[in-house]
Amino acid sequence: MGINLNVNGTSHELDIEDDVPLLWVLRDELKLTGTKFGCGIGSCGACTVHLNGAAVRSCQIPVSAVSGQPITTIEGLGAGTLTALQRAWIEHQVPQCGYCQSGMIMAVSALLARNPAPTEEDLAAAVTNICRCGTYPRIRAAVSALGKPAGDAA
Amino acid sequence: MITRRRMLLGTTGVAGALVVGYALWPDDRLARADGLAAQPGERFLATWIKIAGDGLVTVMIPHCEMGTGTSTALAQMAAEELDADWSRVRAQIAPADALFANGALAEGFLFESKNLTLSSIPAFLRGTAADATGAIARYMDLQTTGGSPAVRMTGVYGIRISAAAARELLVRAAAARVGASRGSFHTAMSRVIHTSGQSFGFGELAAEAANHRPSAHPPLKARNAYTLVGASLARFDIPAKVNGATIYGIDVSPPDLCYAAIRIAPATGGKLRSVDEASAAQMRGVRRIVRLDDAVVVVADRFWRAQKALDALRPTFDAGKKAAVFSAALRARQVSALGGKESTTTDLTVGRGVDALGSHVIERLYHVPYLAHAAMEPVNATALFRPPRGLEVWGGSQDALAARAFCAEVAGMPMSQVIFHQLPSGGAFGRRLPGSWNFFEYAVRAAMAVPGTPVKLIFTREEDIQHDYYRPAVTSRFRGSLSTDGRPRVWVNDYTTVDSADTEAHIIYGVPHQAYRAVKIASPVPTGSWRSIESSWHGFFVESFVDELAHEARRDPLEYRRALLAHKPRHLAALNLAADKAGWAAPLDAGVGRGIALVECFGTIVAQVAEVEVAKLGSVRVRRITCAADCGAVVNPDGFRAQVEGGIIFGLSAALYGAITLEHGAVVQRNFPDYPVIRLADCPDIDVHIIESDGTMGGAGEVGVPPVAPAVVNAIFAATGVRLRELPVVNAEIARG
Ligand code: FES
Ligand code: FES
């Protein structure tokens, strides 16, 4: 029997095994390659997507466990336009190689949705993703700018 | 070669476009590099500037985009000399073809070295040829991105000059139209403007300009006239990296793509012994099981299915000849070799060298472990084998042209039958340089087993970490003695090496008697270039030992270094700036210490101060790194700063946590839990201060790495009195009293 997957507002009927990690379904079946493979064991966060609005590591989720539930990937994040978070990422020139950034952005956006002005400690506790290029200082700067009310120059 | 050169100089591109390639053979440089004089025809480079009929300027980039902002920086240099409107400038990665090879890279290195010998060529290039003559021929065909060459070589010696030549042609075309002298025009914002006010867009003039030969010696702008070079312009590649749009090697998807998973013999040199083919062959989606000498590959219609089938195969391997290799024993062998006389090269003696050692000798021994690159994108490549038509390969390489040649060799076909598609890399740090290409080799072999089907072979993180080309484990021994005033009088350094002597061991400090000896010991596992290469270990060794000498002399480590740098004003300035910005003299709480280190790497002088807190039980937290970097001129300050920040964090991961260890000839570590790296929670505050000087342009990507480890270790000493002589820090016992 097929699996129904609801990704970025579109539903898909897929003939795949129950135990395939969501990551590989997104990448190889749906060709949504913005979600990345980094470690395959839930350690690096490159594969982070939103499940019911929360950040999850898609390499650790068997596809059958999320059948029918709303999933958002980086491709579906802004519904066609860039979110304030993505604009801040450009403003602060965050990405280097960029490979981790889909996962980073999904992890940070889930945090900001529940905590719009996180402290550095909040950020570090919620976002444990790895960036090998070392963009952390810029991630901090971009998040802290987002946490400030518009027009606040300080 | 001559034919190629003509093509470069005379080409009119697609209708209405100006295409400028630039032949680089200034006579003064020819004279300096005798080795090249024999083959003058090969001394061209093909960094291209294209101007379309609509005025769009495209700069061809003979490097890979792996996160360093190379494309943008090179386009800035081109736009500057062209006086182009920045909003109408683009960059395009050059095809893997000799026409776009990066002769400027070799040129730049040769220019810097007085005599052309193999040892004057940077180590990361050395392995590519057996002898100097062969090496030069090969370099002409390089598209290497390693050793921080892009901006300071391709940019300075190539693209800048191409662009200036293109600008000259445009002015000439305008002058011909108006019937006025060229001197009555100037250029700005992609227009050629006459003193009368009449002006023409670059696009209007492109076709006419293309009828003339570009000059090899166009006038270049003075540095003080720069408006684009030196500006922190936004990088071209970033918008596509915030919405998942960038297609990396791992994302390519040619029609009918299949996937391959691989298991390689854990021990280097081990052989595939058995596979349980029956259980895997019937699994869903499995197309082919490919037995190789030292690995087994499953090709399937999905990567996940290939991985599952690979597990079901339960492959077994023999341990090879390296079964007896353990890291601890290897270290002991290095130590004893340093004491012996076998396989040594005396690479430099200053003054009386080792003979000057007095009776009171300060002797110290340091060691660093193997390290993996662990770039975020696990290595992978996609290949399509279609005999007799040829081979097509997609992937991220730090040298596209050489990758094409390499894949041709694996497939046993001429290079002309191989197409290589260069794609952005999710980090590389040296992992994708020539000599480190097991992923290309295995991908091509897998593709050859299923002709007509494109195969994407992906290393899992475990395979990526266990089958890397590692930063070598190195042991270094110092012997020194001090003058009565406390300054070092003798500096003797013996260190292990896997190939040749390292100039990076040589100190910048003024010490009257110095001797360096390299002791060659083969590595049981493959080694390769790792961000900052030799400086990553010698920086740690040298800056640790000088700190120890300062302590022996009862001097402040900053003051001590200052006194030894009177003859090196740029180094001194970098050191002073880092110390000032870090508040070197400001009081600190108990358990907190500052350490300083200074390393010149790829022409950039970098000083760093680490502020480190050591808890009672010995856990170490790096609170802050303050960095001052003198890279001569900087093209994109924000981009430079990003590279140095990244280098610091990369170096810090290694200093605190990084170690690849060997047991029974196999790598122990498998994935991020046992090969940890810095995350947000343990990332210190980082301040990078740029010093612009009149020095030649230095590198950016690598230079932040070397000073971190010694600065941190020196800070731990300042905080606790415990001196670590071996990395990583996490393995050390540092309880403080
Ligand atoms: S790939 Fe999923 S956490 Fe690393
Ligand atoms: S930007 Fe390269 S891994 Fe994060």
CATH number of the domain where residue B77 is located: 3.30.365.10
Taking residues B220-241, what's their average pLDDT? 95
Q: In this complex, do B284 and A133 lie within 8 Å of one another by their Cβ atoms? A: no
Q: What tens digit of pLDDT does each residue of A3-37 get?
A: 999 999 999 999 999 999 999 999 999 999 999 99
Mean residue pLDDT across chain A: 95
The ipTM value here is 0.97
Taking residues B347-360, what's their average pLDDT? 91
Let me know if residue A154 belongs to a domain. Answer: no
A20 and A49 together in one domain: yes
B356 and B491 together in one domain: yes
Evaluate if residue B668 carries a pLDDT over 60: yes
Sign of the torsion angle spanned by Cα atoms B286, B291, B292, B296: positive
A46 and A70 together in one domain: yes
A99 and A130 together in one domain: yes
B342 and B259 together in one domain: no
CB A94 within 8 A of CB A56: no
Let me know if residue B736 belongs to a domain. Answer: no
B237 and B272 together in one domain: no
A69 and A118 together in one domain: no
Let me know if residue A150 belongs to a domain. Answer: no
B213 and B287 together in one domain: no
CATH number of the domain where residue A124 is located: 1.10.150.120
Integer CA distances (angstroms), B275 to B265, B305, B423, B448, B611, in order:
12, 17, 34, 20, 53
The last residue of one of the domains, among B242, B270, B291, is B242
What residue type is B703 in one-letter code?
V
For B333, which DSSP code? H
- pLDDT attached to residue B46: 30
A91 and A140 together in one domain: yes
A68 and A14 together in one domain: yes
Angle at B607 between CA B605 and CA B613, to 5 degrees: 160
The last residue of one of the domains, among A77, A102, A134, is A77
- pLDDT attached to residue B37: 25
Could you tell me the pTM of the whole model? 0.91
- pLDDT attached to residue B699: 87
- pLDDT attached to residue B27: 31
**Paired residues of B92 in beta bridges:** B60
A149 to chain B, minimum CA–CA distance in Å?
23
Residues of A with Cβ-Cβ distance to B67 under 8 angstroms: 95-98, 133
Let me know if residue A131 belongs to a domain. Answer: yes
Evaluate if residue B43 carries a pLDDT over 60: no
What would the DSSP string read from start to end of B488-549? EEEEEEEEEESSS--GGGS--S--SEEEEEEEE---SS-B---TTTTHHHHHHHHHHHHHHH
Range in B108-117, B124-133, B138-147, B548-557 with the lowest mean pLDDT: B124-133
B312 and B344 together in one domain: no
Per DSSP, the three-state class of B628 is strand
Taking residues B140-146, what's their average pLDDT? 47
pLDDT higher at B499 or B722: B722
Residue B538 φ/ψ, nearest 5 degrees: -65, -30
B88 and B152 together in one domain: yes
Domain count, chain A: 2
- pLDDT attached to residue B736: 63
| Distance from C-alpha of B107 to C-alpha of B36, rounded to nearest angstrom | 10
Q: What tens digit of pLDDT does each residue of A107-118 get?
A: 999 999 999 999
**Cis amide bond preceding B388, omega within 30:** yes
Evaluate if residue A78 carries a pLDDT over 80: yes
> Residue B418: which H helix or E strand, with range?
strand B418-422
Let me know if residue A153 belongs to a domain. Answer: no
A123 and A56 together in one domain: no
| Distance from C-alpha of B60 to C-alpha of B17, rounded to nearest angstrom | 14
A 10 A CB-CB count for B336 gives 11
B404 and B497 together in one domain: no
Let me know if residue B737 belongs to a domain. Answer: no
A15 and A63 together in one domain: yes
Mean residue pLDDT across chain B: 86
Q: Which ligand is nearest to the CA of A46?
A: 1
**Which B positions 212-271 lie with beta carbon below 8 A of chain A?**
234-235, 237-248, 250-251, 253, 259
Q: Percentage of residues in chain B with pLDDT exceeding 70?
A: 85
Range of the domain at B300: 249-320+379-458
A22 and A67 together in one domain: yes
B688 and B579 together in one domain: yes
A 10 A CB-CB count for B29 gives 16
CB B514 within 8 A of CB B478: no
Of A59, A62, A79, A58, nearest to A9 by C-alpha is A79
What residue type is B613 in one-letter code?
E
| Distance from C-alpha of A153 to C-alpha of B2, rounded to nearest angstrom | 60
Domain count, chain B: 3
B701 and B574 together in one domain: yes
* Most ligand 2 atoms within 8 A of CB, residue of A97, A106, A127 to mutate: A97
- pLDDT attached to residue B20: 59
The last residue of one of the domains, among B242, B269, B300, is B242
The last residue of one of the domains, among B196, B216, B242, is B242
- pLDDT attached to residue B138: 38
| Distance from C-alpha of B662 to C-alpha of A93, rounded to nearest angstrom | 39
Integer CA distances (angstroms), B626 to B131, B556, B575, B648, in order:
42, 18, 11, 10
Residue B268 φ/ψ, nearest 5 degrees: -55, 130
Let me know if residue B463 belongs to a domain. Answer: no
Q: What tens digit of pLDDT does each residue of B502-526 get?
A: 999 999 999 999 999 999 999 999 9
A89 and A118 together in one domain: yes
B291 and B337 together in one domain: no
CATH number of the domain where residue A39 is located: 3.10.20.30
Taking residues B460-469, what's their average pLDDT? 98
Query: Which atom in ligand 1 lies closest to the alpha carbon of residue A44?
Result: 4
Of B370, B264, B272, B267, nearest to B323 by C-alpha is B267
Evaluate if residue B271 carries a pLDDT over 80: yes
Q: Quick one: chain B helix, strand, coil %, rounded to 5?
A: 35, 25, 40
B569 and B703 together in one domain: yes
B408 and B521 together in one domain: no
| Distance from C-alpha of B335 to C-alpha of B476, rounded to nearest angstrom | 8
A64 and A116 together in one domain: no
Range of the domain at A120: 84-145
A71 and A88 together in one domain: no
Q: Which residues of B632-652 are buried (b: 16+ CB within 10 A; e: fewer)?
A: bbbbbbbbbbbbbbbbbbbbb
Angle at B203 between CA B200 and CA B205, to 5 degrees: 60
Residues of B with Cβ-Cβ distance to A139 under 8 angstroms: 680
Taking residues B68-73, what's their average pLDDT? 89
Q: What tens digit of pLDDT does each residue of B94-122 get?
A: 767 655 554 444 444 444 433 333 343 34
Evaluate if residue B143 carries a pLDDT over 60: no
Let me know if residue A15 belongs to a domain. Answer: yes
